[in-house]
Amino acid sequence: MTVEEIKAQCETLSNEELYTIVHNKIRYNYTIVSVAQAELKRRKISKDEHKSLTNEQTRRSKVIVGDIHEDVLLWEKILFFFIPVPRFHTLVMRDYRRKGYVLKVKQSAFFNLAGTALFFVLLIGIGIPFSLIVAGGLWVVGFLVTYFLNQYYFKGRTIRRLAARMES
């Protein structure tokens, strides 16, 4: 599209649609965003309308559009719990965010935090009368407790909270 075609298209858009373009710069070409900004300046929007449009864009940005029911697979839960490598977790969670898997992001953080915390507690406890076998057994028991907490409490609670955010 040429700049003139973009200008003609922007002139037909409502103020709200132009604000959507300006506030979602990452989704649009630089030329489109700059033409939309120029069109908004040309229209000389009042402060009240500017405030209401900004509030509407903020409300929309808080609405979740991703998948809130896609669960983390069992082998992924095991990896998140037993392998405390933050860089690995960060890369996987970034991929989940990009694909819109909101529940997977929350669950992976939950298993990562629980596994890492228990790992350090057991690491400190090994110096006391624990043996490595006892510590390993407790870590496995800790995974099972975390798994059942996720299955019967955390997952359902998170889905309900995310669903309420989607409706508002």
Give the pair of three-digit tokens for residue 25: 């710069």
**Distance of alpha carbon 71 from alpha carbon 103, whole angstroms:** 7
Residue 147: pLDDT band with limits 50, 70, 90: very high
- Tokens 């992001």: give the residue: 105
- With 70 as the cut, is the pLDDT of residue 74 above it? yes
Mean pLDDT, range 81-92, rounded to an integer:
83
Task: Give me the amino acid identity at 147.
Answer: Y
**Distance of alpha carbon 124 from alpha carbon 40, whole angstroms:** 60
- With 60 as the cut, is the pLDDT of residue 34 above it? yes
Residues with Cβ within 8 Å of residue 168, at least 6 apart in sequence: 63
Mean pLDDT, range 14-35, rounded to an integer:
80
Q: Which range, 31-35, 49-53, 84-88, 108-112, has the best average confidence (pLDDT)?
A: 108-112
Q: Over the stretch 148-159, which tens digit does the pLDDT of each residue have?
A: 998 888 888 888
Output the CA–CA distances (angstroms, integers) from residue 34 to 23, 50, 56, 141, in the order listed: 12, 18, 21, 57
97 or 27, which is more confident: 97
Residue 111: Cβ within 10 Å count: 24
- Domain residue extents for the chain: 3-62, 74-167
Mean pLDDT, range 43-55, rounded to an integer:
80
Mean pLDDT, range 39-68, rounded to an integer:
73
Q: What is the pLDDT of residue 64?
A: 53
Q: 151 near 110, Cβ under 8 Å?
A: no
**Distance of alpha carbon 3 from alpha carbon 1, whole angstroms:** 7
Q: What is the pLDDT of residue 143?
A: 93
What percentage of the chain has pLDDT greater than the value 70?
Answer: 88
Does this model's pTM top 0.75? My answer is: no
Q: What is the pLDDT of residue 144?
A: 94
Q: 7 near 39, Cβ under 8 Å?
A: yes
Report helix, strand or coil for 98. Answer: helix
- Tokens 């907490």: give the residue: 149
Give the pair of three-digit tokens for residue 123: 């690491």
**Distance of alpha carbon 35 from alpha carbon 57, whole angstroms:** 19
Q: Over the stretch 104-141, which tens digit does the pLDDT of each residue have?
A: 888 888 999 999 888 888 877 766 666 777 778 888 99
Indicate the helix (H) or strand (E) that contains 11: helix 3-12
Q: What is the pLDDT of residue 59?
A: 65
